[in-house]
Chain A
């Protein structure tokens, strides 16, 4: 399953790379890509993953790297 999230106030390209790396390291994530250019985050996880719970972790990770950046969670 692949989901795309919008990012708001992602100001630094290096932070985007750091977020991407730390999310990739999550065991339940197959792949992740954070695009500084389009301000979008794509997360790939196996089907049946509880995305709500996963996103809580992802948000926490991103907050660590770039506290000003917000992830827009939508259905």
Chain B
């Protein structure tokens, strides 16, 4: 509790004691001494409300909640309901205090969730370690990170070897190795060894500052539900106040008697005229959802995106780097008769050893052994075809079908997918090696989970050839796939898909943030993944998944749907209770106590409900 809140608490306790005392005093009903006895607790607990009411009225704020509360309680004093007036003021303050504490607590727990801000950086000066503010560290400075410390700025390791924990950024504790030459990212925790790091980004450009900035600014992008509530609040209060006026004047005018009773009923209206429960609980729910998501390594740039994601209907994926690893690997070695696998791979590795093509690298990675250059007599690259080399006296050709055709070798090897390297040794066919991009282990599960969450169509877009695209689409169980697309075609495809969705549903595009920025911004929700440290992705996307795991998309939808459900519950609950109490009040069944509950009690319940957004199960 803050100091301010504690003061209110003391006043509440004092007023409660005084109120009980006043009620116990044997004073005549509706007498001046009894009025004074109740006025004491009334002023003790409510003087600031009265003061604010006067002050705000002078600023022209007629529908100010303080003012309405004062009118209601002063009205109660006039109709002779002294205990009710004092008690309502007391309960109003209790409720406000509760609400303040609850909001403060939730704000705190959400910000602590997102607290990845490094407090200090160690700089070595004259052989001494000095703790400085990360913002003061300059480019090229050398910082020292001890085991157990947070990495304060992005940089490159120049000395030391350690493992770093990325849990604070990705939500999952996957230790990564860091050694000389590796880049380390701020916000991670150094686990085992001492690291010396050359700073490559100033604090304000570092990953941690970007993420904090993004999450803090997310509250300024408001969801539709939130805007609806603010608009609603603008009309709700005046409407209830005019209804109260009508209720106080019309029935007694018509019937000609019972003024006090109708005024009393009208006062009940004034007590529930504040829309606070709604106005607080809706943004709090979204903020909680965003906070909870960030804990799981899912950064959401605004409540509006969370809302849109909850209605995801078409999910469009980029292939390379999103559903697949984006790293080429040898997936198949298919030797022709008379050649062994080892032999084929050895010839391929030797032939390709002079090339830096990604294909050559993936073959070298698979071969694992060092290449003995003295065994290569000659090697020449045939552009667009492959390589011709003489190895151990044998003439080896490695390349595509065109190369095989040009030397008159018939290649009888037809793998259905991937990029194929055919080999011939001394003019006879030796077999082929298939290189392809591996599907991420979690991709099939991710697609399955999305289907379970109401995604109607899963679509894959790729620049690759048909065979590679269909193989992946089939393995993952995707509904549709489009291949051989240039980046501009992808935008066009997404636009035509946007035209096919239902009015309520949304289209999400998932990419790796590399050269798909236009598509990310064209989709209703652009999701970038695997972007630890990628500025472009953080910039262009609406939702950023910090790690490479596509299953996180389903998790993000879970969070979005839960948040939206809680928002709906709160709106229905708060409006329902208020409407009910308004009706009961007009009929004379509800009293002012119930009205106070409908006002502040509902707020507190709605806030507690909103806090559920923070808790995300790991299922």
Contact = CB atoms under 8 A, between A and B. Distances in A.
Interface of A: 4, 11-14, 16-17, 20-21, 33, 35-38, 40, 42, 63-65, 67
Interface in B226-248: 230, 233-234
A4 B279 contact: no
Nearest to A36: B283
Contacts of A13: 276, 279-280, 283
B220 A40 contact: yes
Contacts of B279: 13-14, 16-17, 36
27 contacts: A4-B217, A4-B220, A13-B276, A13-B280, A14-B65, A14-B233, A14-B275, A14-B276, A14-B279, A17-B230, A20-B230, A21-B230, A21-B234, A33-B222, A35-B219, A35-B220, A35-B283, A36-B103, A36-B280, A36-B283, A37-B107, A37-B110, A37-B283, A64-B60, A65-B61, A67-B52, A67-B55
Contacts of A40: 216, 219-220
A16 B279 CA distance: 9
B56 interface: yes
Nearest to B4: A9
A64 B61 contact: yes
Nearest to A17: B230
A38 B230 contact: no
Closest 8 CB pairs of A and B: A35-B219, A33-B220, A13-B279, A13-B280, A42-B220, A17-B230, A37-B287, A64-B59
Interface residues of B, number: 28
B541 interface: no
B272 to A, nearest CB: 13
A61 B478 CA distance: 54
A64 B217 CA distance: 26
A17 B59 contact: no
Interface of B: 52, 55-56, 59-61, 65, 100, 103, 107, 110, 216-217, 219-222, 230, 233-234, 274-276, 279-280, 283-284, 287
Contacts of A42: 217, 220
Given A13-B279, A37-B110, A37-B284, 12 more contacts: A14-B65, A14-B274, A14-B279, A17-B233, A17-B279, A37-B219, A40-B216, A40-B220, A42-B217, A64-B60, A64-B61, A67-B52
A67 B64 CA distance: 12
B273 to A, nearest CB: 11
B217 to A, nearest CB: 7
A16 B221 CA distance: 15
Contacts of B55: 67
Nearest to B221: A33
B362 to A, nearest CB: 46
Contacts of B284: 37
B276 A12 contact: yes
Nearest to A12: B276
A38 B219 contact: yes
Contacts of B52: 67
A11 B93 CA distance: 13
Contacts of A33: 219-222
A14 B599 CA distance: 13
A40 B276 CA distance: 19
Most buried by B among A21, A36, A42: A36
B260 to A, nearest CB: 31
Contact of A12 (B65, B110, B222): B65
Nearest to A4: B217
Contacts of B56: 67
B569 to A, nearest CB: 18
Most buried by B among A21, A35, A64, A67: A35
B288 to A, nearest CB: 9
A67 B59 CA distance: 10
A59 B62 CA distance: 20
A11 B102 CA distance: 12
Nearest to B282: A13
A68 to B, nearest CB: 8
B204 to A, nearest CB: 14
Contacts of A35: 219-220, 283
Most buried by B among A12, A20, A65: A12
A4 to B, nearest CB: 7
A23 to B, nearest CB: 13
Contacts of B276: 12-14
B100 A11 contact: yes
A51 to B, nearest CB: 17
A28 B230 CA distance: 22
A11 B221 CA distance: 21
A59 to B, nearest CB: 13
Most buried by A among B216, B233, B279: B279
B225 to A, nearest CB: 13
A47 B18 CA distance: 58
